[in-house]
Amino acid sequence: MKKYILLACLAFLTGNLLAQGIEFDHGSWKEVLTKAKQEDKLVFIDVYTSWCGPCKKMAAEVFPLKEVGDVFNPNFVNYKIDAEKGEGIEIAKKFGVKSYPTYLFVNGDGELVYRSGGYNLPKIFLNEAAIAIKEKHDPKPLAKWEDEYTAGKRDKDFLKGYIGKRAVVKAPNGPLLEEVFPLLTENDLSDKDFMSSVFAFDPNMTFVPGGKFYNYVVANHARLDQLIGKREGYVLSLLDAGTYQYFRTDIIKNNKEQMLPVMLAAKKQLMELLKREETDVAVKGLVMEYYKGTKNVKKLVPAALDYVNNGLLKLDIQAKIAADKAAYQKMREPYLNGKQDSTKVENWASMQRVSANQKMVDFSYKLRSAAEAIYKLVDDPKILGQAIAWAKMAESYFPHFSTEAVYAGLLMKTGKKAEAAEMMLKASKDSFIQGNDKQKLLLANVEKLKKGEAPEELW
């Protein structure tokens, strides 16, 4: 009898060991690359953060599946990095990771072969792996395309292929689209595969505002939506996201002030086409963001004052509060009448907090951003006082650790050391960040403020 029990236990344990999901390597980044090169495999990198909900769902629901492990374990060296810790910080920065989870497929030389991300159902996730495997065996990897481009190759077919290849790894194509556009025929612009690759969403995608390709898309957006099989307004939404990314990574980074009016005109045009509200506020916000990013204090101050006083504070705040109240009551109905069970909703308390203030969350964050811009660059006590008033107002509408941290920093810059430390301590107790790295940062900032030091990174 004991023998049978022992055999049954061994069978159970063996079955568990065999029915395993992705096995992640725990070596250093250098060791993982070396292993990948030796075994002629790609490195699959799960880039996550401790606070990312979709990251946790993937780790709990998809990574442990046997069918997923059966594909990932023999084909990849699997690796996990926290984008906010250790080597993960530099790796995420190197590959331009801006959303979580992001999945990177990298060869043994550390070159990006494929990129995807987000919460994926198992079937979709396995399809992403199949694409990465296919890209690995492509006889012309991205590095060869880049070498040819650097050598001066510029014919139409090459540029179209290069754009398509870059789209696979989600590299920005804004300037390349401007370069190729004069060469494109109507047949090219009606090529579903090519245009689908151009409009494959990724946070890194760029479009040049006011450029030749931009103007073509604005004039033909409805036809392009139909061509690539997307909902009405899809390509305009991507154009909006891509021009903003270009604004951040090129116009601000390279201090192209002559492009600021072009960007503002594009933003206004796209918001009107998409029938979005608060266009004037958005445009004023871009002006403030530009002068913050270029560290132009002289122009930042009037831009921030204009953004808040003539933009945000001209909005109907009471209407926003009323709309939030109505939306919150509607959201709660199925829980109050017993049709849904709140005990089965993950992070119920946090969800309630945001759901009760959807419009005012956005309003408060915008006020906080204006206050933070002043904190970063301004020392004038009068202007700092105005920024404190903005932070205080934002906090009154939606209490949040980021706003309280900015509030604390501004108090410190006006000489109120004890009050600053107390406010930063309050920020560290926010339920949104309990037990994660944000809380650790805020607690470290408390100690800096007690010493009279103004933190460089507030939250």
pLDDT per residue over 141-174, tens digit each? 887 898 899 999 999 999 999 999 998 888 899 9
On whether residue 39 sits in a domain, the answer given is: yes
On whether residue 420 sits in a domain, the answer given is: no
The verdict on 116 and 187 lying in the same domain is no
The verdict on 29 and 129 lying in the same domain is yes
What letter does residue 79 receive in the DSSP assignment? Answer: E
What are the residue numbers of the active site? Answer: 52, 55
DSSP secondary structure letters along 222-242? HHHHHHTT--TTHHHHHHHHH
On whether residue 459 sits in a domain, the answer given is: no
The total number of structural domains in the chain stands at 2
On whether residue 72 sits in a domain, the answer given is: yes
Percentage helix, strand, coil, to 5, in the chain?
65, 5, 25
The verdict on 17 and 103 lying in the same domain is yes
The verdict on 182 and 99 lying in the same domain is no
Boundary of a domain, candidates 95, 114, 138: 138
pLDDT, tens only, 185-215: 999 999 999 999 999 988 889 999 999 999 9
Burial 45-60 (b: 16+ CB within 10 A, else e): bbbbbeebeebbebbe
- Output the CA–CA distances (angstroms, integers) from residue 53 to 68, 99, 157, 380, 423, in the order listed: 20, 12, 42, 41, 28
- Show the domain range for 247: 172-276
Phi-psi region of 106 (alpha: psi -120 to 50; beta: other; left: phi over 0): beta
**Least confident among 142-151, 255-264, 313-322:** 142-151
The verdict on 127 and 182 lying in the same domain is no
**CA-CA distance, 347 to 120, in Å (whole number)?**
21
> Token digits for 81?
């990095």
Q: Compute the mean pLDDT over every residue in the chain, rounded to the nearest whole number.
A: 92
Phi-psi region of 291 (alpha: psi -120 to 50; beta: other; left: phi over 0): alpha
Burial 243-280 (b: 16+ CB within 10 A, else e): bbbbbeebbbeeeeeebbebbbebbebbbeeeeeebee
Boundary of a domain, candidates 276, 299, 324: 276
On whether residue 434 sits in a domain, the answer given is: no
> Token digits for 252?
């601000």
pLDDT of 308 reads: 98
- The yes-or-no verdict on residue 16 having pLDDT over 60 is no
On whether residue 253 sits in a domain, the answer given is: yes
pLDDT of 140 reads: 87
Contact 384, 378 (CB under 8 A): yes
The verdict on 134 and 17 lying in the same domain is yes
Range 447-452 average pLDDT:
95
Phi, psi of 78 (to 5 degrees): -95, 135
What letter does residue 312 receive in the DSSP assignment? Answer: G
**CA-CA distance, 370 to 301, in Å (whole number)?**
10
On whether residue 314 sits in a domain, the answer given is: no
Using a pLDDT cut of 90, give the percent of the chain over it: 80
On whether residue 81 sits in a domain, the answer given is: yes
> Token digits for 283?
């445009």
Boundary of a domain, candidates 257, 276, 295: 276
Tell me the CATH number at 79. 3.40.30.10
pLDDT confidence tier of residue 96, bands split at 50, 70 and 90: confident
Residue with tokens 């025929």: 185
Whether the model pTM is above 0.75: yes
- The yes-or-no verdict on residue 343 having pLDDT over 50 is yes
pLDDT confidence tier of residue 19, bands split at 50, 70 and 90: low
- The yes-or-no verdict on residue 10 having pLDDT over 70 is no
Range 263-274 average pLDDT:
98
The verdict on 116 and 29 lying in the same domain is yes
pLDDT, tens only, 365-414: 999 999 999 999 999 999 999 999 999 999 999 999 999 999 999 999 99
**CA-CA distance, 297 to 187, in Å (whole number)?**
49
- Output the CA–CA distances (angstroms, integers) from residue 129 to 60, 78, 104, 459, in the order listed: 19, 12, 10, 35
Q: Where are the alpha helices (DSSP H) in 208-309?
A: 212-227, 234-246, 260-273, 279-293, 297-309
Burial 195-225 (b: 16+ CB within 10 A, else e): bbbbbeebebbbbbbbbebbeebbeebeebb
